[in-house]
């Protein structure tokens, strides 16, 4: 917990220092700095921090560092490259290091690799090249797009960063004995709240049905809504956007795969190339085919590739269950729903309600690192990025970026928990994911002192009146999500640190082909699905997927028994749902 007295005192000091600086010299204008930046400097608890605490101030002349900023693609959002927060960041690092940050927009969910590849091919890539998944990050390494990062450079300019992430996480940035990436931390003392979807309880009342707990019950509810049309001609029983992949960690995996064999785990635990030939993927796609042919999803689902349409359907009250909406106050979707449908009633549907018999749900627990950040081969000042993330890893800096300004974007409760203030709309409001686009380089998610403080903050951030949804998501998270490596119905995917040549060769082609095949399968006649799937599977294998699978198997077979034991067996993969619940 941060002391209110300490922050207030620092703010006053910051004001005096900033005033003195402004009186002595004018500020040089910078890219990404707005008029709000001056005010920002007077509210941050870190403005007055002495540069020597972060290492030497190396630049006599202004140095520019270009870095990606992830765009979540939400309609109506602020320009992520030029706003209050980019202004505040620039003001801080200019004062400390004479460093200017240029922010380059990159899509967060769809098209990030394509955007990076396009920029690299044109020689216009940012100084920092990054990805959340190691296999995708390896493509930049094999392309020769990165420069090696000397360990002594990290030691000199990144002591705060190194202490935060720890040696284990740092190891994931080393390839063939040389460091090419600076991994972000991944908090382990919180619960994941994924795997639940909002459901319209007032729609259930209209058809006199209970909240479903199995896939079969869910299908019956969807069909009842289709016939009853609670939203009239606009009724969409199941809100679903165009999926961009299928694997055992997400679509099809959480609901259909059951227990795995060792071979299935080895072949299909990749989360970057769609596992088109995996049996659970087939079952999921067949279910989507059923939804399409029975008018249970929008006929235009394939056009929605950025979440905006499916989210607008929920906000306008058209969908009964939404696959793409969570309790994220920054989206404003629950508030919009209540504005459009004041009598709407909402609950969360637990993930196993999309599983046959309600007997499956496995939570994919990602590897223990966050964003993997490499430095472009063309970057002339690699130490600048190390200084930048070292500054960001400071506890007060990170807290300010994630929680914002006291009494505007957050407040303290009597227990000392920082609680988000919902509905604040000023220019210094927190942006999507509590400003995640800016602090992903330091950590993967908002950091909390404990699970209790996590859910106190989440409850404060959700649209007023929907706090009970946070309690529901916590109950589901406690059942399925590990905390500090204990409990949960979770599993980990294999991380191969060798260069995956077949993956690099075929990944882009296979992803594109998957999207084409997926639309064909979902929109095919139900009676044609099985035969079409078999034909497309063979084509998919012939296009390079067989080589990808063979490569994974060869790497696994060549792994020592000790290394294999890290990944297999995992009880969350080899035990049934009921057995896991009895732990």
Q: Considering only CA atoms, which of 302, 296, 297, 238 is closest in space to residue 514? A: 302
The mean pLDDT value for 287-292 works out to 95
How large is the average pLDDT for residues 558-573?
86
- The reported pLDDT for the residue numbered 495 is 80
How many Å apart are CA 180 and CA 337, to the nearest integer? Answer: 46
Give the model's pLDDT for residue 541: 98
Rounded mean pLDDT of 5-9?
Answer: 34
Centroid of chain to Cα 34:
27
pLDDT tier at 34, thresholds 50, 70, 90: very low
When mean pLDDT is compared across 104-118, 121-135, 208-222, 486-500, the lowest value belongs to: 486-500
Does residue 156 contact residue 388 with C-beta atoms inside 8 Å?
no
* Domains along the sequence of the chain with CATH: 4-180+368-404+433-439 (3.40.190.10), 196-365+481-581 (3.40.190.10)
∠ CA 463-395-23, nearest 5°, is 95
Tell me the pLDDT tens digit for each residue of 448-463. Answer: 988 899 889 888 888 8
Q: What is the pLDDT of residues 468-502, one digit of tens each?
A: 988 988 888 887 776 666 666 777 778 887 778 89
pLDDT of residue 215: 94
Exposed / middle / buried, residue 521 (Cβ in 10 Å: 0-12, 13-18, 19+): buried
State residue 364's pLDDT score. Answer: 64
Rounded to 5°, the CA angle 504-492-331 comes to: 85
Higher pLDDT, 432 or 290: 290
Q: What is the pLDDT of residue 42?
A: 36
pLDDT digits (tens, 9 = 90+) for 50-109: 345 555 567 999 999 999 998 876 666 789 999 999 999 999 999 999 999 999 999 876
> pLDDT digits over 340-382, tens only?
999 999 999 988 898 888 877 776 666 789 999 999 999 999 9
pLDDT of residue 159: 95
| CA–CA distance, 125 with 111 (Å, rounded to integer) | 15
Comparing 4 with 132, which gets the higher pLDDT? Answer: 132
pLDDT at 245: 61
Q: According to the model, what pLDDT value does residue 210 have?
A: 97
pLDDT value, residue 360: 74
Whether 463 and 424 have beta carbons less than 8 Å apart is answered as no
pLDDT of residue 9: 36
Tell me phi and psi for residue 170, to 5 degrees: -55, -35
Q: Which pLDDT tens digit goes with each residue over 388-436? A: 999 999 999 999 999 999 999 999 999 899 999 988 899 999 998 899 9
Please check the confidence at residue 520 and state whether its pLDDT lies above 60: yes
Give yes or no for residue 154 having a pLDDT over 90: yes
The region of weakest confidence among 26-35, 159-168, 337-346, 497-506 is: 26-35
CA–CA distance, 228 with 202 (Å, rounded to integer): 13
Predicted confidence band at 252 (pLDDT cuts at 50, 70, 90)? low
pLDDT band at 241 (very low <50, low <70, confident <90, very high): confident
Given a contact cutoff of 8 angstroms between Cβ atoms, the answer to whether 183 and 165 are in contact is: yes
pLDDT at 492: 73
Task: Judge contact between 164 and 450, C-beta under 8 A.
Answer: no
pLDDT at 330 > cutoff 70: no
Q: Tell me, what's the pLDDT at 509?
A: 92
pLDDT of residue 317: 97
> What is the torsional sign of CA 364, 367, 371, 373?
negative
Q: What is residue 40's predicted lDDT score, i.e. its pLDDT? A: 38
Q: Is residue 36 predicted with pLDDT exceeding 70?
A: no
Rounded distance between C-alpha atoms, residue 387 and residue 162, angstroms: 12
Give the mean pLDDT of 199-226.
97
C-alpha–C-alpha distance, residues 219 and 97, integer Å: 59
> Widest CA span of the chain, in angstroms?
78
CB environment 434-444: b (16+ within 10 A), e (fewer): bbbbbbbbbbb
* Cα separation values, 297 from 287, 522, 555, Å: 11, 11, 41
Confidence grade of residue 227 (pLDDT, cut at 50, 70, 90)? very high
Whether 328 shows a pLDDT value over 90: the answer reads no
Dist CA 404 CA 400 (whole Å): 5
Confidence of residue 191 (pLDDT cuts 50, 70, 90): confident
CB atoms within 10 A of CB 471: 13
pLDDT for residue 277 is more than 60: yes
Phi, psi of 418 (to 5 degrees): -80, 120
Q: For residue 6, is pLDDT > 70?
A: no
Q: Is 256 left (phi over 0), alpha (psi -120 to 50) or beta?
A: alpha
Q: Which of 203, 159, 196, 165 is nearest to 182 (CA)?
A: 165
């Amino acid at each position: 917990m941060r002391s209110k007295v300490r922050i207030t005192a620092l703010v006053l000091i910051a004001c005096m220092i900033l005033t003195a600086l402004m009186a002595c010299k004018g500020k040089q204008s910078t890219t990404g700095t707005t008029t709000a930046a001056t005010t920002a400097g007077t509210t941050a608890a870190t403005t007055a921090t002495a540069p020597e605490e972060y290492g030497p101030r190396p630049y006599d002349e202004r140095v520019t560092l270009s870095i990606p900023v992830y765009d979540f693609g939400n309609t109506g959002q602020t320009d992520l490259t030029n706003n209050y927060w980019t202004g505040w960041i620039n003001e801080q690092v200019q004062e400390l290091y004479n460093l200017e940050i240029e922010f380059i927009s990159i899509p967060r969910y769809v098209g990030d690799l394509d955007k990076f590849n396009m920029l690299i091919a044109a020689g216009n890539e940012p100084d920092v090249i990054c990805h959340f998944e190691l296999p995708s990050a390896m493509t930049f390494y094999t392309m020769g797009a990165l420069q090696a990062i000397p360990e002594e450079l990290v030691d000199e300019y990144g002591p705060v960063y190194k202490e935060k992430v720890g040696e284990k996480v740092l190891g994931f940035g080393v390839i063939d004995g040389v460091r090419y990436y600076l991994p972000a931390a991944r908090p382990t003392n919180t619960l994941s709240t994924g795997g639940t979807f909002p459901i319209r309880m007032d729609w259930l009342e209209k058809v006199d049905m209970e909240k479903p707990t199995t896939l079969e019950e869910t299908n019956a509810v969807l069909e009842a809504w289709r016939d009853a049309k609670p939203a009239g001609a606009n009724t969409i029983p199941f809100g679903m956007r165009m999926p961009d992949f299928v694997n055992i960690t997400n679509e099809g995996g959480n609901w259909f795969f059951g227990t795995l064999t060792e071979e299935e785990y080895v072949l299909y635990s990749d989360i970057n190339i769609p596992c088109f030939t995996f049996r659970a993927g087939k079952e999921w796609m067949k279910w989507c085919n059923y939804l399409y042919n029975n008018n249970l999803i929008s006929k235009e689902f394939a056009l929605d590739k950025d979440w905006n349409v499916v989210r607008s359907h929920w906000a306008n009250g058209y969908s009964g269950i939404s696959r793409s909406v969570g309790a994220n106050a920054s989206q404003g979707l629950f508030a919009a729903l209540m504005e459009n449908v004041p009598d709407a009633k909402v609950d969360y549907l637990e993930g196993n309600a999309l599983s046959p018999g309600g007997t499956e749900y496995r939570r994919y627990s990602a590897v223990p690192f966050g964003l993997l950040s490499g430095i472009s081969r063309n970057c002339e000042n690699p130490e600048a990025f190390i200084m930048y993330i070292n500054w960001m890893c400071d506890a007060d800096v990170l807290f300010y970026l994630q929680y914002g300004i006291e009494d505007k974007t957050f407040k303290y409760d009597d227990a000392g928990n920082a609680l988000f203030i919902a509905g604040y709309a000023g220019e210094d409001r927190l942006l999507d994911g509590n400003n995640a686009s800016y602090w992903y380089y330091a950590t993967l998610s908002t950091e909390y002192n404990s699970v209790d403080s996590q859910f106190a903050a989440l409850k404060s951030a959700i649209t007023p009146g929907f706090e009970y949804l946070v309690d529901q998501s916590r109950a589901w998270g406690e059942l399925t999500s590990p905390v500090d490596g204990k409990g949960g119905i979770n599993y980990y995917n294999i991380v191969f640190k060798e260069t995956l040549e077949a993956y690099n060769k075929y990944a882009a082609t296979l992803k594109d082909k998957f999207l084409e095949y997926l639309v064909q399968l979902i929109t095919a006649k139900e009676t044609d699905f099985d035969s079409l799937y078999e034909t497309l599977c063979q084509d998919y294998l012939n296009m390079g997927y067989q080589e990808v699978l063979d490569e994974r198997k060869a790497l696994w077979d060549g792994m020592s028994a000790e290394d294999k034991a890290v990944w297999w067996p995992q009880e969350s993969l080899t035990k049934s749902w009921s057995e896991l619940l009895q732990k």
